[in-house]
Amino acid sequence: MSERVRKRVVVSGIVQGVWYRSSTVETARRLNVDGWVRNLPDGSVEAVFEGTPSAVDAVVEWSRIGPDRAIVQRVEVAEEQPEGLSGFRVAY
């Protein structure tokens, strides 16, 4: 079985109201990455990604660009211990 990793990202810029969360869900599911994504009160978006190192790295890299209408200014990435999440969803 492949090693699982977990990364938490906080994405700042124009990332709310531009389909960032739904695009993250689509991208993570396509890459077979588990976790969640949510808007934060300060206008940023937070997400947790769990999966194989290559898949998690791919969705983290996608986060640096986001959907067409997003303007990503900064992405903070932190490595964490995997929790065994299953599926990918929008968290509230």
pLDDT per position as a tens digit, 40-88: 999 999 999 999 999 999 999 999 999 999 999 999 999 999 999 999 9
Domain assignment present for residue 21? The answer is: yes
Q: What is residue 36's three-state secondary structure? A: strand
Range of the domain at 32: 5-81
Q: How far apart are CA 89 and CA 25, in angstroms?
A: 6
| Residue 32, in any domain of the structure | yes
Specify the number of domains making up the chain. Answer: 1
What pLDDT is recorded for position 32? 98
Cβ density class 38-50: b for 16+ within 10 Å, e for less: ebeeeebbebbbb
Known catalytic residues are 21, 39
2 pLDDT tier (thresholds 50, 70, 90) = low
- Cα 3 from chain centre: 19
Question: Is residue 92 included in any domain, yes or no?
Answer: no
Instruction: Give the model's confidence band at 35: pLDDT under 50 very low, under 70 low, under 90 confident, else very high.
Output: very high
pTM of the predicted model as reported, rounded to 2 decimal places = 0.96
Residue 30 lies in a domain: yes
Q: What is the CATH number of the domain that holds 50?
A: 3.30.70.100
User: Can you give the pLDDT at residue 80?
Assistant: 98
Residue 73 CB neighbours (<10 A): 11
